[in-house]
Chains A and B, each alone.
Chain A
């Protein structure tokens, strides 16, 4: 499974855009990039998933450069309720990683007024 590296923490103010970059130099050809959000004492919540270029949904955007060795999760106009830990994961592209999510330490995002 490809290892990921992301910042330990990020601080932001309400209304700002937050961009979290994740490095995954050893990503395999068939791997997808997935981001989860976790609030204290809750299970993780799927945010977005992509393979290449750009993916956007009602919550976030995911930017993936051509070499796919990194990706950036963009949270537009964050609010206090976006304070959470954000995890970047890669995998589900080969049989031995199918379904086995490998969570790292994640990025603690703190949004203040």
Chain B
């Protein structure tokens, strides 16, 4: 059973461009979470999704950030008009049901130049 997959692993964008981060949860997991880890900081919750539904987006910045988890395909975290402050590691996690036991992917390291 493959683990949580994220791609790309590294992403470089210039200021103003869009970044799309993909997450494929573990097989059988319908709950997906996104977290962000800024340099030298801890992980911060961003959003919690189930298939086709956003359950909790209280950690998402109000502008430029959006997330989806369609019926088919991976979950997408989209960042529009990136700025240097968006440079961070973005981790996706999944679980078969909600709760504290989550399985994390290897992360996508976004660098904004």
Contacts and interface: CB of A to CB of B under 8 A. Distances in A.
Contacts of B101: 34, 46, 49
Interface in A38-85: 41-46, 49
A82 to B, nearest CB: 18
B107 A42 contact: yes
Contacts of B106: 42-43
Interface centre among A89, A99, A104, A105 (most CB of B within 10 A): A99
Main SS of chain A's interface residues?
loop
Contact of A103 (B4, B43, B95): B43
B69 interface: no
A98 B98 contact: yes
Contact of B99 (A87, A99, A103): A99
A45 B58 CA distance: 23
A101 B45 contact: yes
B10 to A, nearest CB: 11
Given A43-B104, A49-B100, A100 B42 contact: no
Contacts of B100: 32, 34, 49, 89, 91-92, 101
B105 A43 contact: yes
Contacts, number: 68
Given A43-B105, A46-B103, A92 B44 contact: no
A103 B59 CA distance: 13
B56 interface: yes
Contact of B48 (A42, A44, A100): A100
Contacts of B58: 100
A110 to B, nearest CB: 17
A89 B102 CA distance: 12
B76 interface: no
A100 B45 contact: yes
16 contacts: A43-B4, A43-B106, A44-B93, A46-B103, A49-B100, A91-B100, A92-B100, A96-B56, A98-B98, A99-B55, A99-B95, A99-B99, A99-B102, A100-B33, A104-B42, A105-B42
Interface of A: 32, 34, 41-46, 49, 87, 89, 91-92, 96, 98-106
